């Protein structure tokens, strides 16, 4: 694979990354993608869910080959370091090469899933490329719950084979995935004025690794929301008079929270006691998770007393105890496939509104009934604490086909190219194949992609040599369909 070929792919990815594409804010990337396809003479259409389909004719000799659907998504998870000044709705993602790795400057890279679009666009603008008739399906708002894929309508696609390029381990073919569902719970609070005899501080927990709540839920990364409420409870055990206010943490349903903060107040003269408890808490956390979370930190900083007041004395620790019961992490491992997570939950987002605390969780499961039961735990918790709940985005699992021609082709071609057997897996991450397959039964589907580490975090990086190898494999796989 020549460096020039890799450079072409990365240049297109950089071009895509100049267009803001935060999930739920597609007002710039959607028309840009439509114009990109039409300006090059391709037939382009969209639907009510803002999915885009670019139809590409077969190259000579492939006219009788089956139509292949190439699929990726247009949005990205927008994460940045706290000290980075970056507005994802305006500013471009700026990449740089760190040896064999491509990174962004203080933000998530957006290789998930710009690399898929870049590979597709590089293919169809290369006059030397060979391929069957193609439908490039670019879905909307994948990162907020596979919204575009879930809202596809019958007839939008004609292809019989689908290649999803949203996997993140070179040499690994994905043939199935877990399903998922968001749940919001709302816990009511009453506010009171800040007592005059209190000192107010903001407790910030941060410096955590974060990452993808599907593919990294089992590796022991800490959750900032979990640590925040645990720290407040430990302080309360030593200082029962503590008062609690605004609670905030996390950014997205599929990102493990990296930072969380809460307003706390203690009687004048007890500040030193609170600092001692926090110091001991930090030491405990480093002993528990320090091998993974090497930059974990927590601090108390002076803040102005909140104008809206603090939670009523009777509510504050009641809320903390409720939040302490929210599950996070692996619930069950697969019985059928050794080493694969079956069911998990991400305590994803914590927000304080005027009269309630709002929590967003995302659960995943390969077994629908087990996932539904896990969600019921959240419903029960809301009821127990006098709150309410609502479900959000839901998507089905992708069940592996008993016989797959595209998988057989892929295994043979990978072995021929690299003299190695590819790994075949069912992943705990949510992929759009399950949602798409629910609308188009019988699609022969596979997912693969270059190596991307720590997606959905500012440490996201993509292995450049793997881009070249996956590009080579992708093209050879397409060529194998010559009739």
Q: How far apart are CA 483 and CA 63, in angstroms?
A: 8
Q: How far apart are CA 476 and CA 410, in angstroms?
A: 9
Q: How far apart are CA 178 and CA 337, in angstroms?
A: 13
Two tokens, residue 228: 């925040």
For 369, phi then psi, to 5°, come to -65, -40
Positive or negative, the Cα torsion across 224, 228, 234, 237?
negative
Q: Is 75 labeled as catalytic in the residue annotation?
A: yes
Radius of gyration of the chain from its Cα atoms, rounded to whole angstroms: 24
- Residues 93, 106, 112, 206, Cα dihedral to 10°: -140
Catalytic residue among 79, 112, 141, 142: 142
Residues in contact with 384: Cβ distance below 8 Å, sequence separation at least 6, in sequence order: 322
Two tokens, residue 129: 């490329």
Q: Is 142 labeled as catalytic in the residue annotation?
A: yes
CB 322 within 8 A of CB 381: yes
Provide the strand spans (E) within 131-215. Answer: 134-139, 161-164, 172-177, 179-188, 191-192, 198-206, 211-212
CB 421 within 8 A of CB 415: yes
Two tokens, residue 357: 């605390």
Instruction: Give the C-alpha distances (Å, rounded to integers) separating 339 from 4, 292, 330, 373, 429.
Output: 39, 20, 12, 22, 14
Provide the greatest CA pair distance for the chain. 83
Angle ∠(27,32,33) on CA atoms, nearest 5? 110
Residue 346, beta-bridge partner list = 362
Q: How far apart are CA 420 and CA 410, in angstroms?
A: 12
Q: How far apart are CA 229 and CA 247, in angstroms?
A: 9
**Enzyme catalytic residues:** 75, 142
């Amino acid at each position: 694979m020549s460096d020039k070929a890799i450079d072409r792919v990365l240049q297109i990815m950089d071009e895509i990354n100049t267009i803001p594409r935060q999930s739920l804010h597609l007002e710039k990337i959607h028309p840009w993608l439509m114009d990109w396809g039409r300006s090059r003479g391709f037939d382009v259409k969209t639907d009510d869910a803002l999915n885009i389909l670019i139809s590409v004719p077969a190259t000579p000799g492939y006219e009788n080959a089956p139509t292949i659907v190439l699929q990726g998504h247009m949005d990205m998870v927008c994460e940045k370091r706290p000290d980075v000044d970056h507005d994802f709705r305006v500013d471009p993602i700026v990449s740089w090469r760190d040896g064999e790795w491509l990174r962004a400057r203080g933000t998530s890279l957006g290789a998930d899933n710009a690399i898929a679009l870049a590979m597709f666009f590089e293919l169809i603008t290369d006059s030397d490329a060979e391929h069957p008739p193609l439908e490039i399906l670019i879905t909307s708002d994948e990162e907020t719950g596979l919204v575009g894929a879930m809202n596809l309508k019958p007839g939008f696609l004609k292809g019989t084979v689908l290649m999803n390029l949203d996997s993140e381990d070179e040499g690994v073919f994905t043939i199935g995935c877990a399903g998922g569902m968001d749940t919001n719970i709302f816990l009511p609070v009453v506010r009171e004025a800040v007592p005059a005899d209190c000192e107010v501080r903001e407790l910030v927990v941060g410096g955590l690794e974060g990452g993808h709540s599907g593919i990294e839920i089992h590796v022991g990364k800490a959750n900032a929301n979990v640590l925040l409420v645990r720290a407040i409870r430990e302080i309360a055990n030593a200082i029962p008079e503590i008062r609690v206010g605004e609670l905030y943490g996390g950014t997205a349903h599929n990102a493990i929270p990296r930072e969380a903060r809460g307003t706390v107040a203690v009687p004048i003269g007890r500040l030193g006691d609170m600092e001692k408890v926090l110091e001991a808490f930090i030491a405990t956390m480093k002993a528990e998770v320090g091998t993974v979370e090497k930059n974990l930190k927590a601090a108390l900083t002076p803040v102005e007393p909140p104008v809206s007041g603090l939670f009523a004395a009777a509510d504050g620790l009641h809320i903390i105890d409720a939040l302490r019961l929210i599950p996070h992490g692996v619930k069950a491992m697969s019985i059928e496939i050794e080493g694969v997570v079956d069911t998990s939950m991400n305590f994803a987002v914590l927000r304080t509104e005027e009269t309630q605390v709002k929590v967003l969780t995302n659960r995943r499961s390969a077994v629908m009934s087990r996932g539904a039961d896990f969600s019921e735990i959240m419903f029960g918790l809301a009821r127990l604490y006098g709150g309410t709940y609502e479900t959000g985005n839901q998507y089905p699992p992708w069940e592996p086909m008993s016989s797959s021609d595209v998988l057989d082709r892929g295994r043979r071609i990978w072995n021929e190219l690299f003299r190695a057997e590819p790994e075949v897996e069912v992943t705990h991450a949510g992929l759009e194949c399950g949602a798409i397959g629910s609308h188009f039964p019988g699609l022969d589907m596979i997912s693969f992609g270059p190596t991307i580490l720590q997606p959905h975090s500012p440490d996201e990086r993509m292995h450049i040599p793997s881009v070249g190898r996956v590009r080579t494999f992708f093209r050879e796989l397409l060529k194998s369909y010559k009739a």
